[in-house]
Structure 1
Amino acid sequence: MTVIDPRLTAAEPEPATPGMLRRAVRQMLRNPVVIACLVVLLAVVVCALFGQWIAPHGANDTNVPAAFTPPGAEYLFGTDDLGRDVFSRVVLSAGATLRVSLFAVGIAMVIGVPLGLVSGFFRGWLDAVIMRLVDTMFAFPVMLLAIAIVAVLGPGLNTAIIAIGVVYTPIFARVTRGSVLQVREEPYIRAQRALGAGNTRIMVRHVLPNVSAPIIVQTSLSFAFAILSEAALSFLGLGVQPPEPSWGRMLFEAKEFMHLGWWMGLFPGLAIFVTVLAFNLLGDSLRDVLDPKTITREDAS
């Protein structure tokens, strides 16, 4: 009779290894949806970095006689009420949008991940204090809190970065804490304690790498929400300020002229929709391939 070691059926997640990550990457690259998302995001990044060479006109180059020209050969996405090329403005707006989302998500990660790591690892009164602060921030709707921060600091691109970064910090803290609670009592963590490793070493060398998967997924999803938040703030006149273009600001400028130039709002709206969709689908794919149970099953096979 074959005796099965019950430890082998516990489905405990093994410590993360570079090989697991490489297998996850290969699995993602075999997914056509992921490839499509990466192509879209690469195009947005190229527009953000090289937009001044891609755009045929400047963002604020006006040609009043050509106002409300529909999409065509000369103006690919048409022109707005001042005769500005909508295609050029959409391309050049990618820079501001990605800049806001990149720095805002960076702020949220830099603050939220350490808070969640410390809170979940040490528990006790420290966990209670940190989580009460996080719960207090969660009590406010995201956009309402962002608008309140902008109202205090004043509108502008840097203010939008700070506001969005602050409102998404508790999300990273909560995600990190939940993951830390799952791994803090794993055998490999207890083994490090038995060997005399310090708390800082255990958190940085062993806990953080093994909770990185949900953080990576949350980062991708947060980029999508940050783009939406920036567009909403700019639409309300609280984000990116003229003369710098942004997709949200373009929607605000187009709302009064939809009956004269439907394309003014269509193309920046599509840019927001496609970019956010790409980040969301990429986040879903990351969640699937970085799931510890999935990785463990593939590694065992």
Structure 2
Amino acid sequence: MSGDRADGAVRRALSALRHDPPAVAGMLVLLLLAVVGVAGPWLAPAGINDVDVDRMLQAPSWAHPFGTDELGRDVLSRVLMAARVSLQVGLVSVGIALVAGVTLGLLAGWYRGWLDSLLMRVVDVLFAFPVLLLAVAIVAVLGPGLRTAMIAVGVVYTPIFARVTRASVLAVREQVFVRAAVAIGTPDRRILWRHVLPNVAAPLIVQTSLSLAFAILAEAALSFLGLGVQPPAPAWGRMLFDGRGFVTEAWWLGFFPGAAIFLTVLAFNLVGDALRDVLDPRQLTLGEARRNPA
């Protein structure tokens, strides 16, 4: 019963996104990004590492809409292929953080006591480090590369999901339906899976959408520093690094990958903010009160 009620609330909230123009725009950008990430090899007009020194540093034109870089490679093709890398890093790293953080938060919020204190102190230690500094330290230990970048970003965002889950579990565990399930002897695993987790899904959905934006930014920062995706593979952050020396004579080298990062992060933030508004119980209650005044 509790799970069905939570699912219904989430469905009603998500349907409200259709009436939010910024959220719709953000979802359209994300849909386009997903299409580009999947179909990038077929959409790219040239090979990502096709070197042509006779065409190096050409300005945007019909032949090369985003221009060419210092090696004559087509910038549009590299930007399109880098979208797949950013999506992969965002989804995998946030997936790692979501699974690990939700597990820690459920255990800490449900069992409380010494386990809660131990897990939350570990989370506090991770929170004490700046996100990018901790990610750089992890990559420095494991070695640069796409896989280590995903692990590092996943680790640094795990505490956020752990905190959000724990706070929600502390509120849900006092609800009548949870107490009733405990009273009749329902196993903890079943209670957490069938009753608690569905009722803490709303804030996790919001946090996931926002964390995807920050994960893509973190990956771009790591690639810019040379700790993420390694050349010759394309990555938006690495393309920004390569274009920093050509700002005056070849502005397009940094502009287009920077614009791709900007639009992607903005789209995730727009969708995340809209989800936060429609999934916030206080906002839902206010909306119902306005529709049904006393």
TM-score between the two structures when normalised by the length of structure 1: 0.92
Q: Distance in 2 between matches of 1:157 and 1:71?
A: 29
CA contact under 8 A between 1:14 and 1:296: conserved in structure 2? no
Amino acid at match of 2:199: N
Residue identity opposite 1:146 in structure 2: A
Pick from 26, 38, 46: which aligns with 1:49?
38
Determine if the alignment matches structure 1 residue 90 to structure 2 residue 79: yes
Cross-structure match for 1:290: 279
Gaps of 5+ in 2: none
The percentage of counterpart residues that share the same residue type is: 60
Counting only pairs closer than 5 Å after superposition, residues 133-212 of structure 1 correspond to structure 2 as 133-212=122-201
Q: Report if aligned partners of 1:15, 1:188 keep a CA contact under 8 Å in 2.
A: no
Answering whether residue 198 of structure 2 is matched by residue 225 of structure 1, we say no
2:227 aligned counterpart, secondary structure:
coil
Name the counterpart of 1:9.
Answer: none
Q: Which of 265, 268, 279 in structure 2 is aligned with 1:276?
A: 265
C-alpha separation in 1, matches of 2:95 and 2:3: 28
Amino acid at match of 1:177: R
AA aligned to 1:96 is: V
- Find the aligned partners of 2:276 and 2:85 in 1 and give their Cα distance: 28
**Alignment partners' CA distance in 1, 2:176 and 2:106:** 18
CA contact (8 A) 2:3 2:195 kept: no
Q: CA RMSD in A?
A: 1.6
CA shift for structure 1 position 21:
2.2
State the secondary structure of the residue aligned to 1:239.
coil
Show the counterpart of 1:4: none
Give per-residue Cα distances to partners, 1:105-144, cap 9 Å, x unaligned.
1111111101001101111110000000000011111111
Q: Is the 8 A contact 1:105 1:219 kept in 2?
A: yes
**What does 1:12-91 correspond to in 2, within 5 Å?**
16-91=5-80
Q: How many residue pairs were aligned?
A: 289
Indicate the SS of the match to 1:256: helix
Partner residue, 1:250: 239
Tell me the distance in 1 between the aligned counterparts of 2:236 and 2:45: 18
Which residue number in structure 2 is paired with residue 3 of structure 1? none
Amino acid corresponding to residue 122 of structure 1 in structure 2: Y
| Cα distance change on mapping 1:199 and 1:14 into 2, 3 Å | closer
Write the letter of the residue equivalent to 2:117: A
Does structure 1 residue 125 correspond to structure 2 residue 88?
no
Who is 2:230 aligned against? 241
TM-score of the aligned structures, taking structure 2 as reference length = 0.94
Moved more, 75-84 or 125-134: 75-84
Equivalent position amino acid for 1:133 in 2: V
Q: CA deviation at 1:22?
A: 2.1
Instruction: Give the distance between the partners of 1:19 and 1:107, measured in 2 at CA.
Output: 27
Looking at structure 1, the residues matched to 9 and 126 of structure 2 have their Cα atoms a distance apart, in angstroms, of: 35
1:267 Cα offset (Å):
0.5
Q: Deviations over 1:77-128 (max 9, x none)?
A: 1111111111111111011111111110111111110100110111111000
Displacement of 1:196 in angstroms is 2.3
Looking at secondary structure, tell me which structure has more helix per residue: 2
Name the CA distance, whole Å, in 2 between partners of 1:215 and 1:25. 14
